[in-house]
Structure 1
Amino acid sequence: MVSWTGLSRRALSILTLMTLVVVTGMMFARSSAPLQQKPATKTLIVKMAKGLPLEQAQAAVSRSGGTPKGSIPKLDLQVVEVPAYAADAITKSLTGDAAVLRVEESLTRKWQGVPSDPYYANQWALPKVAWDQVYGNVSPQFLTNVAILDTGVDASHPDLIGSIGPGTSIIDDSNGVTDANGHGTWLAGIVAARTNNLLGVAGVAFDHVQIMPVKVLDADGLGQDSDIIAGVVWAADNGASVILMAFSNPGFSQSLQDAIDYAWSKNVVLVAAAGNDGSNTPTFPAGDKGVMGISATDQNDNLAATSNYGSSVFLAAPGVNILGTYTGQSYVTWSGTSASAAMVAGSAALMRAVDPTLANGVVVNRIAR
């Protein structure tokens, strides 16, 4: 169903790219004396020895000067906050502890969509991927869950009523069903907006597919690896058939790869956006093992000007001027590899709604044909 005409499945060249740097400015009072500021912190993800009791894991973290902030027991991970100025020293101390197997910084990943005309009403991408040949000829009969790890989903949108299943938020108390950004709601409409209901748009997965909102990104579309990892594990443990991750960062995280491996072992199909930097630098999670990394094409099946490409890309799908649901019961047209990844995630979900016995590897191979 997914078109990737004119693009190689695997690009071989790899370039370097500047990583995202967040600069925190100091604020000063009107007087000459500066205001007291909370010291800058960093978040570390610490891989502990398998089976180590929580109390011992937290004690090891504390010995090195870190503050335990959470844990992901199924992956033996501790989420640790440390003063930024002492991050290197604490990392070195933790690395030398016999109870610690690995220490890495919790990287920040950003959603991958670019605003365009918010009232563009032509869903050109659906016939481009032969959706019109499937709709009306294929009858999905088995409920399939797509976990969208993103900014949440506005569950009150009329075109999503009946398409939203149970969700969660790793970062607040919303259960994933609010969206201060709109990106997650846009993706939900691309994947599974209600079809043939006299409203708005049609979703790629037009029947028997529901969205599991998993909020891991904040209102600015930014999310920490520690929260993303927890979201992947939650989705895999709560019945997700497909996981959509429409965010990226050029930094590799072994802990994130561990979470992806865990989800893959539970027969989950994983899809991620390759990014919108017009670069062939590898990005993650698109470039992780077991993930379909997706680049974007335009109406002529050409690589979109801003789309990433290269070794992180498994295939490409339409991603220019893609109409979807938006907050406030409205609709928006955006462009980016996020939309492309949502198209592929919807296609994977539709396949399993027709045949739930398909293994994740079979789904991936069929999409790649």
Structure 2
Amino acid sequence: MKTLRLLFLGLTALLAACSQAPRTATPPANPGLLVSSEGIRHFQGQVVVGYQDETALQEIVAKLGAKELARIPELKAALLQVPGDALKASRALKGLPGLRYAEPHLAQVVPPKDDPVEIPRTRASDLSPLGNPADQLLDALPQYALDPRHLDAKRAWDLGFEGEGVTVAIIDDPADVTHPDLAANWAGKAYDPVTNTTYTSASAWLAFINNNPNIYHGTFVASTVSAPRDGQGIAGLAPKSKFLPVAIFQPDYVGDFYVARGIVWAVNNGAQVLNNSWGGLGYGNLVKEAFDYALANGVVVVASAGNSSKDEVRTPAGYPGIIASVAADGNRNKTDFSTYGRHVSSAAPGLDVLLANPTWLGGGYGLISGTSFSGPYTAAAAALVKQACPGATPYQVRRSLETTTWERTFSREKGFGHLNAGNLADLLRRGCADLPSKGAVVRVKVEYFNENGLFPGLLADVILRGKGLRPGDAADPTPVYWARTDLSGEAWFYEIAPGEYDIYVAGADLSLTGGLPEERGTFVGTLIATSGSTAANPVFKLVRLNATEVNLNPTDPYEPNDSPSQATPIAYGITTQLAYIFSQPRDFDFFAFTGTAGDEIRARVYAKSSIGGTLDSYLFLLDAAGNVLEENDDLVPGQITDSEITFSLPASGTYYLVVTSYTIASDLAASDNSPFNKYRLELVKTN
């Protein structure tokens, strides 16, 4: 049990206020303030919505009493400022006609500067080429990553594949467009998605950066791709490509809405490849739709797998259609820090690679490690394909890279192997007709049905698992893709491998919503993902599940019971109906009972551990004067998070049981307002 006496400053206030008027509405949010609620990091008071048309958007704005801050017309998405809690506001929209999704303005991504990888900077004069093999000198300084034993860049260049005519967007912190080893290949534009400003002046872009010492990552990344072969410093793998900076870290993460706006801007401004050396955990509808927009427009999307050292799926690397890159060391083995798994595509150098250091931090070059740099080597290899075959689809580009690696076999640690630009060039010079087959686009629509009717299949998980997958086989390349349905019940899979799939669909996760397994509903079937299917003409699958509708706005039958004067009566031998710690940021539910001196009582909260849902409960027993007699967090610490109190009543009279969440009880400033914070309260006399 965790003793939280500090909470009773809050409970005492409730007791003292029992005769006061109801609490006022939540004050307006502080724009730009980052908060974390239910484990979701987001901007306070900001909601992102996807809408079908202008009428639907205006109805959404009116329902929330919101102010529209910005929109992305291409995605039919808008950023709204709402007067209350963003999580609650987004859930209040469920069922509104024309709404595709609603979510808080997410900020789950970890800034690149927080990657657990050292960045040892050095001066160019300290990087003597004398101790290096001659084949590592491809410009002025030695680069093992490009030599014939790694990326084999010179063979590709000698065959004419240097990325000429291809623009790669560097979606990162602001890259240095004035660095002597980058200026020549700047595409002439740079973008701040927060202010929606396109910069065409290098000096104005530098003024925007303002010599910020925490901005450097994008410069390293850009030089991986586009540093020219000009006799100074280093060369990128695509030394004749152009780079297009998009500033999504300034230096902190600007939020999913602005990232999506940056992605759309890059696509609309001529990028053929997007590099994303960033990521995190969680799932965002808007960012996925932005990448889907890129893929639907034939733009290749590359993402670093992550630096977690784990076999896990991080986003955006795990979204369907995205090329996920693993970091390799000097022996072409996966580095110890690299994330890996079935979803990864290939590996590229990511340990102690030599890259350009921003001029505002002294210029020159530095040795740096991370999947942040294997990713742009992969994006540069994609640029070589786009140079040779501008019409190549994202999936064709991916498979071109995968079928020309050193190993050409699959493992969870390196995908299809370590990239080899020389082998890739051999494929490209044979002509575009020899590229692998085009990918597929699949649209799955999920609906729930039960005795109450037919409902959109929101919060459903959809998995496409290639036929013949061998579970547990680390060398099995059979593809697996996952997506979550939006509020209309749709899930899209862009640019995936063509072929036959087992499709698995499950209704909303019971560990989140609570309930019985039979209420979730599942479906198993098959579909054929046809090569060449497109966003305009996708493979379509309708799935109907016999499942319980997900309720994002449940009604607590006992509210209002937020103070002793409003307490719900309860008696021995009673278990309440389903109730919720919901509808306000800090909810305390009061239940009153009458006991006799010497009564041995047991009060039990059945919550997350027993009925599912999200409530980690906390239970208090108070006497009539509001004194705390007993409290409990976990029935079995570390195992059962439901709460239970056993107690012998000292006198006859009125007592109160107060149910809340551990999150609220442990922090006077914390909120916990999930529609899945469900519980039942049981009171029994045991003597």
2: distance between equivalents of 1:330 and 1:194? 15
Say whether 1:168 aligns with 2:201.
Answer: no
Deviations 1:313-348 (A, max 9, x none): 222211111111121132222111110100000111
> 5+ unaligned residues in a row in structure 2: which ranges?
1-28, 34-43, 128-140, 404-687
Structure 1's 333 and 90: CA in aligned 2 closer, same or farther, altered over 3 A? same
Aligned to 1:215: 247
Note the C-alpha offset of 1:150. Answer: 0.9
Residue 276 (structure 2) aligned to one of 219, 242, 245: 245
For this pair of structures, how many residues does the alignment match?
A: 326
Say whether 1:275 aligns with 2:275.
Answer: no
Note the C-alpha offset of 1:98. Answer: 2.4
Amino acid at match of 2:323: M
Structure 1's 142 and 117: CA in aligned 2 closer, same or farther, altered over 3 A? closer
Aligned to 1:11: none
Say whether 1:110 aligns with 2:132.
Answer: no
Contact preservation (8 Å) 1:110, 1:223 = no
Structure 1's 141 and 212: CA in aligned 2 closer, same or farther, altered over 3 A? closer
Aligned to 1:132: 154
2: distance between equivalents of 1:223 and 1:125? 32
Say whether 1:333 aligns with 2:333.
Answer: no
Q: How does 1:1-369 map to 2 (within 5 A)?
A: 38=30, 40=33, 41-48=44-51, 50-53=52-55, 57-58=57-58, 60-82=60-82, 86-108=85-107, 109-112=109-112, 114-119=117-122, 122-127=142-147, 128-140=150-162, 142-165=164-187, 166-172=189-195, 173=197, 175=199, 177-178=205-206, 179=209, 180=212, 181-195=215-229, 197-207=230-240, 209-220=241-252, 222-328=253-359, 329-369=363-403
Amino acid at match of 1:320: L
Deviations 1:221-265 (A, max 9, x none): x23111111111111112111011111011111222211111111
Contact preservation (8 Å) 2:47, 2:89 = no
2: distance between equivalents of 1:259 and 1:116? 31
Higher strand proportion, which one?
Answer: 2
Structure 1 window deviating more from structure 2 (334-343 vs 128-137): it is: 128-137
2: distance between equivalents of 1:246 and 1:125? 18
What is the alpha-carbon root mean square deviation over aligned residues?
2.3
Structure 1's 330 and 148: CA in aligned 2 closer, same or farther, altered over 3 A? same
Contact preservation (8 Å) 2:142, 2:234 = no
Contact preservation (8 Å) 2:328, 2:350 = yes
2: distance between equivalents of 1:43 and 1:87? 6
Contact preservation (8 Å) 2:45, 2:85 = no
2: distance between equivalents of 1:183 and 1:284? 19
Contact preservation (8 Å) 2:87, 2:104 = no
Contact preservation (8 Å) 1:65, 1:90 = no
Amino acid at match of 1:66: A
Counterpart secondary structure, 1:105: strand
Deviations 1:142-199 (A, max 9, x none): 411101111111111111122011232102447394454011111111100011x121
Q: Identical aligned pairs, as a percentage? A: 28
Amino acid at match of 1:90: A
Structure 1 window deviating more from structure 2 (275-284 vs 333-342): it is: 275-284
Aligned to 2:634: none
Counterpart secondary structure, 2:303: strand
Note the C-alpha offset of 1:91. Answer: 1.7
Counterpart secondary structure, 1:115: coil
2: distance between equivalents of 1:118 and 1:42? 40
Structure 1's 223 and 362: CA in aligned 2 closer, same or farther, altered over 3 A? same
Contact preservation (8 Å) 1:61, 1:94 = no
Counterpart secondary structure, 1:162: helix
Contact preservation (8 Å) 2:226, 2:238 = yes
Note the C-alpha offset of 1:139. Answer: 4.8
Counterpart secondary structure, 1:247: coil
2: distance between equivalents of 1:205 and 1:91? 43
Contact preservation (8 Å) 2:111, 2:251 = no
Note the C-alpha offset of 1:38. Answer: 4.5
Note the C-alpha offset of 1:42. Answer: 4.3
Structure 1 window deviating more from structure 2 (292-301 vs 172-181): it is: 172-181
Counterpart secondary structure, 1:110: coil
Counterpart secondary structure, 1:243: strand
2: distance between equivalents of 1:194 and 1:126? 13
Please, what TM-score do these two structures have when normalized by structure 2? 0.45
> 5+ unaligned residues in a row in structure 1: which ranges?
1-36
Note the C-alpha offset of 1:295. Answer: 1.4
Note the C-alpha offset of 1:62. Answer: 4.3
Contact preservation (8 Å) 2:45, 2:82 = yes
Amino acid at match of 1:52: E
2: distance between equivalents of 1:332 and 1:63? 53
Amino acid at match of 1:67: K
Structure 1 window deviating more from structure 2 (69-78 vs 167-176): it is: 167-176
Structure whose CA Rg is larger: 2
Counterpart secondary structure, 2:387: helix
Please, what TM-score do these two structures have when normalized by structure 1? 0.82
Deviations 1:78-129 (A, max 9, x none): 112346x622321222224324221123322234453332126642111211
